[in-house]
Amino acid sequence: MKHLDGSITAPLGFLAAGLHCGIRKNRLKKDLMLIFAEKPCDAAAVYTQNRVKGAPIVVTQKNLASGSARAVICNSGNANTCNADGIEKAEQMCAFAAQALGIRPDQVVVASTGVIGLPLPIAPIKKAVPSLAKALSREGSIAAVDAIMTTDTRRKQFAVEFELGGKACRIGGIAKGSGMIHPNMATMLSFLTTDADIEPALLYEALLDTARETFNMVSIDGDTSTNDMACILASGLAGNARVTARGAEYDAFREALGEVCTCLAREIARDGEGASRLLECRVTGAKCTEDAREAAKSVIGSSLVKAAMFGADANWGRVLCALGYSAARVDPLLVDVAFSSKGGRVNVCKSGTGLDFSEEEAAAVLKCDEVVIHVDLNENEASAVAWGCDLTYGYVKINGDYRT
């Protein structure tokens, strides 16, 4: 497997574009994106488990019932959620894209991100879609990822190449997400493409399992968005023998998909609103994988742990506190904790009891821009990794006036 330049247009058969249509007041901010597949694709998606769902989620679930799609349209600046006309406008977005591309509306995935509860202005989208379609190109992935960003400060895009049956295959992905992130079955928004040939049921299974291990292991602020979605389109143009069952070929596909989604998940955590450092919690020695995931996610989601990391304070008691209220089966008298970074490593807790350590050396470790929290439960052999960020003054500032 090797990393490639680009993202969603690295796989064969995909074009992308992005532009400013007028939803966002800042004309320098792109706010409408389109991905187009040159042939019908097998498709799958996972969605937010929040009971309050954006209208695009409802429409996309209906459109993907067939397991096929050819396009994705997404706007930023407005979530099209909790609006009386939300479904109608999401369907209109599909219709506009379909007309411009010469396909059916039910072949379009639709997504929106931004402020909740404000009516979506549909006229700017209708006017811009023909130009958006004309701008589609293999070089359009950067414009596309720019168009889905809200409070994001960096692009999140990756692609890899791998082999299936001797054929070179590719998977690419883009994502947006910086705040309101504590996913359950998806991330804020992620759009993935592949030229591998794999049947829809296995494509969905791979996406679902990968989301559990990657996107669902990110927490910025404990809030699960109303518009979370991760979808993948598979063109099959790589020419590999179609993957129709679990086995070595499926495992290779899963590994490549996992690599792309892990990279995207880390970048989402790194770009958390107001964040100054990326946090990674590695849990080992759990009784089972689910316990490991629950423990890691609890630590990475703790506001007190996040605040301590912002202050470069090796307050390991907060880690044990987060483990104690997690759903994981934890014996506190067995837990070991350490912190590491490019500044070194400091062991702070052994068998649930504090160790003597240098506060100065610990602070030097925690002041680096990437910090790993090591937790060994010493129960069995299961492990998991979760990603998050520190909690800073900037987070409150961004979200205190996000709407106004």
Q: Which residues are catalytic?
A: 187
CA distance 277 to 393: 13
CA distance 237 to 315: 52
Beta pairing, strands 278-286 & 370-376: parallel
Tokens of 95: 């219709």
Nearest Cα to 159, choosing from 232, 220, 219, 108? 232
CA distance 35 to 335: 47
CA distance 192 to 211: 12
Instruction: State the amino acid at position 133 in one-letter form.
Output: A
CA distance 259 to 98: 32
- For the four alpha carbons of 196, 201, 206 and 211, in that order, the dihedral sign comes to positive
Residue 97 makes CB contacts below 8 A (sequence gap 6+) with 34, 71, 73, 103, 105, 108, 110, 129, 133
CA distance 347 to 206: 37
